[in-house]
Amino acid sequence: MATILLIEDDVRLAKLISKGLRNKGYTVETALNGGEGRERALGEKWDMVISDIILPGTNGIVLCRELRDRKPNIPILMLTALGTTDDKLEGFDAGADDYLVKPFEFRELFARVKVLLKRAGSKLESDEQVLKFGGISMDVSAKTVSRDGVDIDLTPKEFNLLEYMLKNPKRVLSREEIAKEVWDTHFDTGTNFIDVYINYLRKKIDKPFEKKLIHTKSGMGFILRD
């Protein structure tokens, strides 16, 4: 299921929302102020961001504008106690996809979340045929890959592994996650096939170039980052 970042300074409300969404099968992480929310929203991979407007640190409207500028396709749902038309327009002008006024029923929140994620998924299927990161360019439809203009020949499994990493940049991917999402199997700790394929990719994606993009996080997994 989708990963959601919740930015909400009301601890009690944050716990209630997180619990409710987790019960629906979503993965939810919480930031309790605008500064932490901004750092995590911009620095990590999320399928959706839910943010209060009035926050300590970075204001939710400011955060929304920056997030929309940096990640134009991510769904953003704003939460606020401010319910006037001008308040809503300010949120939408900042780039929010939807706006929910407190207090609200959880089933309404869940319905909004479900609609926004479905809409975003449909848009990604039509728009993200070319994935780019750090000089790498992958055409998902044509099954071609290049880095800095140099064509790179990958096997089908290498291509699938790189595609998953390009869709999840700057996030540590465990061997278990890679096995499940790329190979559709459970990771056997007695084998090192994930490491073998990571090394295959490194030889083609990193070795011929000065800047290395595929990094190992000891005991945790692998990350694609500048």
pLDDT tens digits along 102-140: 888 899 999 989 988 888 775 544 445 789 999 999 998
Whether residue 122 is found in the same domain as residue 197:
no
Lowest mean pLDDT among 25-34, 113-122, 140-149, 179-188: 179-188
Phi and psi at residue 132, to the nearest 5°: -135, 140
Last residue of a domain, one of 106, 127, 148: 127
Whether residue 142 is found in the same domain as residue 182:
yes
Whether residue 40 is found in the same domain as residue 98:
yes
- Per-residue model confidence (pLDDT) at position 169: 92
Cα Rg of the chain, angstroms:
19
Whether residue 186 is found in the same domain as residue 107:
no
Tokens 């994606």 belong to which residue? 205
Alpha carbons within 13 angstroms on the beta-carbon side of residue 124 total: 15
Last residue of a domain, one of 73, 106, 127: 127
Fill in the DSSP letter of residue 58.
S
Last residue of a domain, one of 127, 153, 187: 127
Whether residue 70 is found in the same domain as residue 155:
no
209 has pLDDT over 70: yes
What's the mean pLDDT in 167-174? 92
Rounded CA-CA distance 39/130 in Å is 26
Fill in the DSSP letter of residue 95.
T
Lowest mean pLDDT among 4-18, 20-34, 124-138, 199-213: 124-138
Whether residue 104 is found in the same domain as residue 212:
no
- Per-residue model confidence (pLDDT) at position 28: 95
Fill in the DSSP letter of residue 10.
-
Whether residue 110 is found in the same domain as residue 159:
no
| Host domain of residue 134 | 130-224
Rounded CA-CA distance 221/188 in Å is 14
What are the start-end ranges of the E strands in the chain? 3-7, 27-31, 48-52, 76-80, 98-101, 130-133, 136-139, 144-147, 150-152, 214-217, 221-224
What's the number of domains the chain is made of?
2
Q: How many helices (H) and strands (E) does the chain have?
A: 8, 11
59 has pLDDT over 70: yes
Tokens 């096995």 belong to which residue? 179
What's the mean pLDDT in 17-41? 93
- Per-residue model confidence (pLDDT) at position 84: 63
11 has pLDDT over 70: yes
Whether residue 20 is found in the same domain as residue 91:
yes
What's the mean pLDDT in 10-23? 94
The CATH number covering residue 19 comes to 3.40.50.2300
Tokens 């309790």 belong to which residue? 32
Structure tokens at 119: 């809409």
Whether residue 112 is found in the same domain as residue 137:
no
207 has pLDDT over 90: yes
The CATH number covering residue 183 comes to 1.10.10.10
Whether residue 12 is found in the same domain as residue 59:
yes
Lowest mean pLDDT among 124-128, 150-154, 170-174: 124-128
Contact between residue 30 and residue 56 where contact means Cβ atoms under 8 Å apart: no
Rounded CA-CA distance 121/225 in Å is 24
pLDDT tens for 31-54 read: 999 999 999 999 898 999 999 998
Whether residue 119 is found in the same domain as residue 153:
no
Mean confidence (pLDDT) of the chain: 86
206 has pLDDT over 90: yes
Q: Which residues pair with 132 in a beta bridge?
A: 137
- Per-residue model confidence (pLDDT) at position 179: 84
Report the share of the chain in percent with pLDDT over 70: 90
DSSP per-residue string spanning 56-85: SSS-HHHHHHHHHHH-TTS-EEEEES--SH
Whether residue 16 is found in the same domain as residue 114:
yes
- Per-residue model confidence (pLDDT) at position 95: 81
Report the predicted TM-score, pTM, of the whole model to 2 decimal places.
0.55
- Per-residue model confidence (pLDDT) at position 13: 94
CA 4 to chain centre: 8
Fill in the DSSP letter of residue 134.
T
Alpha carbons within 13 angstroms on the beta-carbon side of residue 136 total: 31
